[in-house]
């Protein structure tokens, strides 16, 4: 969204969720809208997040965004490893790991995205992919202030939502992996992302291992996103 579109969205969205309790709401807006969004969200409980970060804190990296820039703009959280960053910008698990380290060092909470492609699922390699991404992305890191977002690539923007059972199965694998390899795994929030809509949120949130949603296209309209938030509140 542009700055003007962000202003319009937030102005409509805040009244729609003002009575929501027991749900953390985060808006991950484009870099250019961060500062303005921070001002608009100042007297609310809505968290402001960025969609990406660079792993170096300073230097000649024209066009990149540092942790200090995000903090200055009012951010408290950042999405790292989104499937589009991995797919189109060739971000590896090593790069994702370095970004998480930088974000946590600077006090930013992290939403770490992982997930398999359609080909990998059809080849029954989902758990292999998740194991590799978790191992690489979380190498030498604690789970403090890190949320995991499982986003099967084949379900993003396609209208093909994973069934609640498929989502829960992958979330259960992630939880077991965290318990086996890290301390504090039970406190980690595991979100589902992939064509989440007001029509699918209830069934997804009914699953025991689904703790929230990373919403894409359906979050671009205030009323649609507000309905998803309401669906999350029911859990």
Fold of 3-234: TIM Barrel (3.20.20)
Sheet containing strand 77-80, edge to edge, reads 26-29, 47-50, 77-80, 109-114, 146-150, 190-192, 212-213
Examine the residue annotation and report whether 151 is marked as an active-site residue of this protein: yes
Domain borders along the chain are: 3-234
Active-site residue, from 82, 91, 116, 120:
82
pTM for the whole structure: 0.96
How many CB atoms are located within 10 Å of the residue 187 CB?
A: 9
Instruction: Decide: 96 and 112 in contact? Cβ < 8 Å.
Output: yes
Examine the residue annotation and report whether 82 is marked as an active-site residue of this protein: yes
Our measurement of the distance from residue 188's CA atom to the centroid of its chain's CA atoms, rounded to an integer in Å, reads 13
Instruction: Decide: 82 and 63 in contact? Cβ < 8 Å.
Output: no
Q: Compute, in degrees rounded to 10, the torsion defined by CA atoms 177, 139, 104, 154.
A: -60
What's the rounded Cα separation, in Å, for the pair 147 and 112? 6
pLDDT for the residue numbered 157: 73
**pLDDT tens, per residue, the chain with 235 residues:** 999 999 999 999 999 999 999 999 999 999 999 999 999 999 999 999 999 999 999 999 999 999 999 999 999 999 999 999 999 999 999 999 999 999 999 999 999 999 999 889 999 999 999 999 999 999 999 999 999 999 999 888 777 778 999 999 999 999 999 999 999 999 999 999 988 999 999 999 999 999 999 999 999 999 999 999 998 887 7
pLDDT for the residue numbered 152: 94
Active-site residue, from 120, 151, 165, 169:
151
What's the rounded Cα separation, in Å, for the pair 215 and 98? 25
pLDDT for the residue numbered 233: 81
What's the rounded Cα separation, in Å, for the pair 178 and 166? 19
pLDDT for the residue numbered 184: 95
b/e per residue, 42-68, with b = 16+ CB within 10 A?
eeeebebbbbbbbbeeeeeeeeebbbe
């Amino acid at each position: 969204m542009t700055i003007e579109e962000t202003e319009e969205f937030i102005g409509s969205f805040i009244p729609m969720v003002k009575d929501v309790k027991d749900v953390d709401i985060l808006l991950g807006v484009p870099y250019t809208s961060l500062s303005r969004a921070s001002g608009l969200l100042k007297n609310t409980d809505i968290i402001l997040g960025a969609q990406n970060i660079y792993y170096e804190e300073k230097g000649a990296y024209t066009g990149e965004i540092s942790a200090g820039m995000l903090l200055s703009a009012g951010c408290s959280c950042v999405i790292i490893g989104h499937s589009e960053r991995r797919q189109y910008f060739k971000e590896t698990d090593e790069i994702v790991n370095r970004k998480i380290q930088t974000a946590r060092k600077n006090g930013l909470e992290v939403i770490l995205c992982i997930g398999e492609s359609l080909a990998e699922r059809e080849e029954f390699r989902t758990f292999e992919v998740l194991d590799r991404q978790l191992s690489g992305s979380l190498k030498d890191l604690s789970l403090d202030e890190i949320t995991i977002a499982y986003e099967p690539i084949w379900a993003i923007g396609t209208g093909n939502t994973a069934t609640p059972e498929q989502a829960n199965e992958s979330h259960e694998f992630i939880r077991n992996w965290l318990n086996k390899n890290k301390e504090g795994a039970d406190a980690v929030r595991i979100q589902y992302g992939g064509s989440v809509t007001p029509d699918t949120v209830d069934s997804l949130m009914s699953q025991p291992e689904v703790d929230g949603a990373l919403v894409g296209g359906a979050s671009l309209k205030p009323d649609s996103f507000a309905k998803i938030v309401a669906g999350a509140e029911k859990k």
